[in-house]
Amino acid sequence: MAYSQLPNYLRANRKRLALSQDEVAFLLGTKNGAKVSRYEHFVRVPSLETALAYEAIFKRSASELFGGLYQKVELEVAERAKILAERTKRQKTIRPPVHKHQALTDIAGSQSNKTLNP
């Protein structure tokens, strides 16, 4: 499945601020720019702590910095929400609260209006 966004936009944001990989590494608390390079070239996915550090450095949300990864995860969650909504709908003994079913429907439907560009 093709995604319309890159996995991340770290390099573009680093360039926007005219920072070197070593400078970003220092801000992240790592020893050198090698890790930064691996993140920028989609070889590694940073930890949550590192993603939040990137957010603090670049003043962009993690979902914006990691747009393609976010898009992929969002689609996967929407698919699982559809499955869970169907499961809760079929349960005979316990009727799920209306707000639970509505929340799952909203999560599952959040992708129905979005299209993927090849």
pLDDT, tens digit (0-9, with 9 covering 90-100), for 51-72? 999 999 999 999 999 999 999 9
Average pLDDT over residues 63-92: 90
Average pLDDT over residues 93-103: 72
Please enumerate in sequence order all residues whose Cβ is within 8 A of that of 6, keeping only pairs 6 or more positions apart, or say none: 42, 67, 68
**Which of 25-29, 47-51, 60-64, 113-117 has the lowest average pLDDT?**
113-117
99: exposed, middle or buried (C-beta count within 10 Å: 0-12, 13-18, 19+)? exposed
| 8 Å CB contact between 14 and 24 | yes
5 pLDDT tier (thresholds 50, 70, 90): confident
pLDDT of residue 7: 93
109 pLDDT tier (thresholds 50, 70, 90): confident
116 has pLDDT over 50: no
100 has pLDDT over 60: yes
pLDDT of residue 117: 42
